[in-house]
Homo-oligomer: A and B are copies of this chain.
C-alpha cells in the first residue's frame, strides 16, 4: 500500500471520520465512484482512506485550496451521493476541514 504524496504545506485536508451502517447497500460502489470522481477535481492532491472491521473509517483528502474543496463539495454527483451517505449509509460521521501547516515523513523521497 502507498500513502498519498502531497506537496510541501500549506494545503488543505478534509478529514472524514465515519461509522458505516449495517445497511450499506450501494455504499461500496458509490465510494469507489467518488474516489474516481474526486481525482478529476482541479486542485485535488490525493487521499488516504482506511476502514476497519468495526466499520469505522477515516478518509483524508488533500486539496490545494479552499476553492478546490468548494468545487468538489458542489460537484453534482457528489451532492447526491453525500445525501445518501447522510440519510442511509452512515450511523455517524464528522467532516473537518483543516489547513495543513507542516508535515514530516518517512519512507519515500
Using a CB–CB distance below 8 Å, which chain A residues touch chain B?
Answer: 1, 3-4, 6, 9, 13, 15, 17-19, 48-58, 60, 86, 90-108
Contact = CB atoms under 8 A, between A and B. Distances in A.
Contacts of A90: 106-107
A3 B15 contact: no
6 contacts: A3-B93, A15-B60, A48-B58, A96-B100, A97-B100, A99-B99
A87 to B, nearest CB: 9
- The count of identical subunits is 2
Nearest to A5: B94
A98 to B, nearest CB: 4
A20 to B, nearest CB: 10
Nearest to A54: B1
